[in-house]
Amino acid sequence: MKKSLLLIVDVQNDFCPGGNLAVKGGNEIVPLVNKMAKNHEHVVLTQDWHPADHSSFASQHPGHAVYSQIEMSYGPQTLWPDHCIVGTRGAEFHKDLDAPHAEMIIRKGFRKAIDSYSAMYENDHKTPTGLEGYLRARELTKITIVGLAFDYCVRYSAEDAQARGFEVEVIEAATRAIDLNGTAIETKRSFAERGIKLT
Ligand code: VGL
Ligand code: ZN
């Protein structure tokens, strides 16, 4: 039988209303995420986890505005407000997130010089987080993805997982988008093109 995993991406205070990189309605997905967690034997959480001087923060690039793009050694990088700093309240999971049987927490973005949207590979698309090895070792072949944000961490997690041969499904009602200049629509177009199931 196919073994499936629920991947809950970045349901953290900073991505919810009142947080430093608030996603509109980010908190609204929590009840559905919890319900889905109850229906999945295997659950993995991701946690965006940056040092205070992380290179994806606009604050580290004087003269560059928040949400602008710069060129990094590994390609273009959007500059974000400071968010999900190690050990801060903003980096904690939303208080109502309820998935006590989660098997693992993947922290990502902890290297100062490189950002990591995907749960599988950092933004150079080469440095592995270890999730792929975990899934293969555990013989989990299907991944259902929920969480924040639809057009960044959910998107790149889904695309990497699909590209690596896993069966991927994203549950639209259990995600919310940041939507910088049409990135939500762009994500849907990309999913359609790649055959990633959006339910
Ligand atoms: C995310 C931007 C920066 C996300 C994380 O979780 O989608 N987006 N860091
Ligand atoms: Zn981040």
- With respect to residue 67, please indicate whether it lies within any of the assigned structural domains: no
| Ligand 2 geometric centre to CA of 25 (Å) | 18
In this structure, what token pair is assigned to residue 94? 């939303």
- With respect to residue 102, please indicate whether it lies within any of the assigned structural domains: yes
DSSP calls for 123-170:
TTS-SB-SHHHHHHHTT--EEEEEEE-IIIIIHHHHHHHHHTT-EEEE
Average confidence (pLDDT) per 10 residues, the chain, 199 residues: 92 98 98 98 98 98 97 96 98 98 97 97 95 96 98 98 97 98 97 97
In this structure, what token pair is assigned to residue 36? 């889905």
Q: Count the domains in the chain.
A: 1
- With respect to residue 12, please indicate whether it lies within any of the assigned structural domains: yes
- With respect to residue 169, please indicate whether it lies within any of the assigned structural domains: yes
| Ligand 1 geometric centre to CA of 75 (Å) | 17
- With respect to residue 43, please indicate whether it lies within any of the assigned structural domains: yes
Kindly report the CATH number assigned to the domain that includes residue 149: 3.40.50.850
Buried b (16+ CB within 10 A) or exposed e, 113-128: ebbbbbbbbbbeeeee
- With respect to residue 45, please indicate whether it lies within any of the assigned structural domains: yes
In this structure, what token pair is assigned to residue 172? 């639209």
The pLDDT score that the predictor gives to residue 155 is 98
Taking the CA of 10 as reference, the closest ligand is 1
- With respect to residue 134, please indicate whether it lies within any of the assigned structural domains: yes
Q: Which residues surround ligand 2, an ion (CB under 5 A)?
A: 48, 109
The pLDDT score that the predictor gives to residue 147 is 98
d(CA 175, CA 199): 11
